[in-house]
Chains A and B, each alone.
Chain A
Amino acid sequence: MKLNEYEVLLNLWLDGEITEEEEAQLLSYELDHPECASRRQALHTLQQEMASLNEDIPPMPSGLHAAWMQKVEEEHMQSMENHPAKEKRSWNRKRIFRIVSVAAALVFLIGGTSLMRDSLPGKHAYPSGYVLSHSEDAEQNTASYAGNNLSMASRSKSVEAGAGYMAAESAVMGSAPMEEMAFADDYDYETEDVTADASVSYDTGSQAVSSTKIIRNASLAITTTAFDQSLKELESLCKACGGWIASNNTSTRYNGLRNAYLEMRIPSGEYEHFLSQTGETGRTTSRSESTYDATENYQDTQARLKTQQALMDRLTGMMTETADLSDLLELEDKIAQTQYQIDRYQSSLNATDRKVAYSTVEINLTEEKETEQVQYRDVSFGERIGLAFENGLDAFAEFMEDMLLFLAEALPLLLCLAVIILIIVCVVRALRRKHHRK
């Protein structure tokens, strides 16, 4: 047995918890170490003497309890006199702390909600790529549509209203007879100096057919509550006037209302009549007309054509007079070039003739909703108060909704902060407890 093992047994013996076997081991060790036996006896004596220390302590005097209670009472009375001030100070501090905490929480909630309202999820879920307007007013949409590009369907052709002859020759043709549609596409527009003269209307009733070449175009914007009917009426009117529809594009806007773009060719003689009748199909919101006098250009082209034709006659004559092969080849080449020019000039004249014969009318037909007439009436002060209160309730309800949304968005952050604060508080308390024990 080692000394430390002996000491364990020694303490068990002193505490009276040693077993017989352990006591035997203890005594056996002491046989070899007599000084340990003396020490054990000394400790036993000391233990008894320590226990007897209390024997000489007299009992607590009978009046001592009352004496210390009296002191405690006096202390209590004294603290009561000072307590209100202390308590008030403490209460004030606590109250201020609570007020500041509540104020900070309110600032966080209300301020955060107000600042973040625009980024909170709204009441309508929009598909990506759309920029929707909350307005359901058909009139407003119609008025804003004229001249802009809100249509979801693209036009097959864009025409600048009032720009005269900028329309491309590759327009989609409608139901016109094929012989009238045999247009040449190789007309060179460089020679045409087209100037737009919008909103000028000519009285074409008396224009000279051969000497003057007046080209008239018009662009209309019509709104209607009966879209299908108006469209049919326009198509019927066009046919009745002897014209045809060169292109027709129909589309539906985001609010479900339809829009049609029509390009019509109307005989010049029926131009005025047609325009006057379109007002019957709906409400005309805009109208522009342009007139272009192509006479001078036409005559110039005619003169050039004559020149080329005279040249052709001379070249043809020279062909019969020469027998030289090289000369013949050169003449053939010249004849071909001259014929090309003749064809070009003739084609230009034909195109001008067509445009003079048939005016181009573009119509934007827009569907609108039937709107109720707004009738105004006087509102009493009580009704105004009621309306204001209703508006206030609605605004308050909306704000509370937004506040809940803000809280939902801020919840992950708040939870993280709460966990961190909790950890800090636990650590501080543990350190305080440890310090207090020391």
Chain B
Amino acid sequence: MDTSQLLSRARSGDPSAFEALISPHEDMVWRVCYRILQNHEDAQDAMQDAMLRAYRGIAQFRGDASLKTWLYQIAMSTATDLYRKRKIRLADSVDALQEESHDIPDSSPLPEDTIYRRQRQRAIRDAICALSDSLRMPLELFALEGMSYPEIAQHLGLPLGTVKSRIARARLAVQENLQIFEDSAEPDRTSSVSKNERRTRA
């Protein structure tokens, strides 16, 4: 059964057709939710909510953008909403890092470089989240999802030159946003400001 048939059936509410359509992209949804929430349980909740929202909204999906991009936006907005609701702060405390991390086999204190690396990763995530939607989407699809420029252009329905331009501007904006982290380099630095305060407009 081709995609259009699956889509047609999914629009009419068929769960199995919806599963066949969405399953190839569930890893992407998981990555988006976890990247934003940085928490196993919250990411699971966000993913389930995102899938439910996708199921409810599939009837209105017109096919203007690709299904992957559409699902990506739903995952992003769901995770962001959950993040705001639960007011999860991307704290730099060692305890918070230890609590979130599931890689640590034991409870011994983390090495400093690991802490620094994670803090920097969090800062990068914050800097990316601080971008406007028009810049963040292409950058995330390129840098985090590994899509090529033509793929991104096709998914977003934008010209290729526009995609390249936005990604270039997004890189510079993230770099500027990281300056604060570079300058302070402190665990309790205020890099985790809300997107509303340091949103870089396109």
Which chain A residue has the least Cβ–Cβ distance from B14? A76
Bound together, the chains give a CA A89 to CA B4 distance in angstroms of 27
Q: Does B65 contact A (CB under 8 A)?
A: yes
Give, as a whole number of angstroms, the nearest-CB distance from B109 to chain A: 18
Alpha-carbon gap, A47 to B167, bound state (A): 11
The residues in B between 41 and 63 inclusive whose CB is less than 8 angstroms from any CB of A are 44, 47-48, 51-52, 55-56, 62
Interface contact B35-A53, CB-CB below 8 Å = yes
Q: Evaluate contact between B64 and A437: CB separation under 8 angstroms.
A: yes
Question: Is A54 touching B121 in the complex (CB atoms < 8 A)?
Answer: no
- Considering the chains assembled together, what is the distance between the CA atoms of A75 and B168 in angstroms? 42
Q: In the bound complex, how far is the Cα of B46 from the Cα of A282, in angstroms?
A: 111
Q: How far is the CB of B67 from chain A (nearest CB, A)?
A: 15
**Assuming A7-B168, A11-B168, is B47 touching A437 (CB within 8 A)?**
no
Nearest opposing residue in chain A for B178, CB measure: A46
Is B144 located at the chain interface by the 8 A CB criterion? Answer: yes
B9 close to chain A: CB less than 8 A: no
A123 within 8 Å of B (CB atoms): no
Asked if A437 contacts B157 (CB within 8 A), the reply is yes
Q: Tell whether, in the assembled complex, residue A72 and residue B30 are in contact, meaning their CB atoms are under 8 Å apart.
A: no
Interface size class of A (residues with CB under 8 A): 35 or more
- Residue from A7, A53, A73 having most chain B Cβ neighbours under 10 A: A53
Which B residues, 18 to 34, have Cβ-Cβ distances below 8 Å to chain A? 18-19, 23, 26-27, 30-31, 34
A436, B143: Cβ atoms under 8 Å? Answer: no
Q: Do B121 and A49 touch (CB < 8 A)? A: yes
Q: Is B15 a contact partner of A49 (Cβ separation < 8 A)? A: no
Contact present for B143 and A47 (CB under 8 Å): yes
Give the docked Cα–Cα distance between A42 and B127 (Å).
15
List residues 27-47 of chain A with CB under 8 A from any CB of chain B.
39, 42-43, 46-47
In the complex, the chain B residue whose C-beta lies closest to that of A12 is: B164
A11 to B118, CA, bound (A): 27
Which residues in window 242-294 of A have CB below 8 A to B? none
For chain B, the bracket of interface size reads: 35 or more
Inter-chain contacts of A68 with B (CB < 8 A): 26, 47-48, 51-52
| B123: nearest chain-A partner, CB-CB | A49
Interface status of B171 (Cβ within 8 A of chain A):
yes
Q: Name, among A7, A60, A71, the residue most crowded by chain B CB atoms within 10 Å (CB to CB).
A: A60
Contact B102 A72 (CB under 8 A): no
Q: Is A188 an interface residue (CB 8 A)?
A: no
Contact A60 B27 (CB under 8 A): yes
B13 interface residue (CB < 8 Å to A): yes
Pick the contact of B124: A46, A61, A67 (CB < 8 A).
A46
B174 contacts chain A at the CB level, 8 A cutoff: yes
Q: Is the CB of B19 within 8 A of A72?
A: yes
For residue B125, CB closer than 8 A to chain A, the reply is yes
Closest to A11 in B: B168
Inter-subunit contact A46/B51 (CB<8 Å): no
Inter-chain contact A72/B125, CB cutoff 8 Å:
no
B15-A43 in contact (CB<8A): no
CB pair B65–A51 under 8 Å, yes or no, is no
Cα distance, A50 to B35, chains bound together (Å): 11
Closest to A49 in B: B124
Which residues does chain B contribute within 8 Å of A61, judged by CB atoms? 40, 44
Report yes or no: B121 in contact with A46, Cβ–Cβ below 8 A.
Answer: no
Partner of A53, one of B40, B64, B124: B124
Most buried by B among A56, A59, A67: A56
Nearest CB in chain B to that of A8: its residue: B168
Q: Are A75 and B52 in contact (CB under 8 A)?
A: yes
Interface residues of A in 51-84 (CB under 8 A from B): 51-54, 56-61, 64-65, 67-69, 71-73, 75-76, 79-80, 83
Residue B175 at the chain A interface, CB threshold 8 Å: yes
Contact A433 B164 (CB under 8 A): no
The answer to whether A71 and B15 touch (CB under 8 A), given A46-B124, A436-B64, is no
Contact A75 B171 (CB under 8 A): no
Contact (A72, B51) CB under 8 Å given A14-B171, A42-B175, A60-B27: yes
Interface centre among A61, A69, A75 (most CB of B within 10 A): A69
The smallest C-beta distance from A153 to any residue of chain B, in angstroms, reads: 79
Chain A neighbourhood of B139, CB < 8 A: 50
For residue B103, CB closer than 8 A to chain A, the reply is yes
For the complex, what is the distance from the CA of A67 to the CA of B157, rounded to whole Å? Answer: 32
Where the two chains meet, the residues of A that have a C-beta atom closer than 8 Å to any C-beta of B are 7, 11, 14-15, 39, 42-43, 46-47, 49-54, 56-61, 64-65, 67-69, 71-73, 75-76, 79-80, 83, 433, 436-437
Query: Known pairs A64-B30, A433-B62. 4 more at Cβ < 8 A?
Result: A57-B31, A58-B34, A72-B18, A76-B15
8 tightest Cβ-Cβ pairs between the two chains A and B: A68-B51, A60-B30, A50-B143, A68-B48, A11-B168, A76-B15, A72-B55, A57-B34
Q: Could you jot down 7 A-B contacts, CB within 8 Å?
A: A43-B171, A47-B171, A49-B121, A50-B143, A56-B121, A69-B51, A72-B51
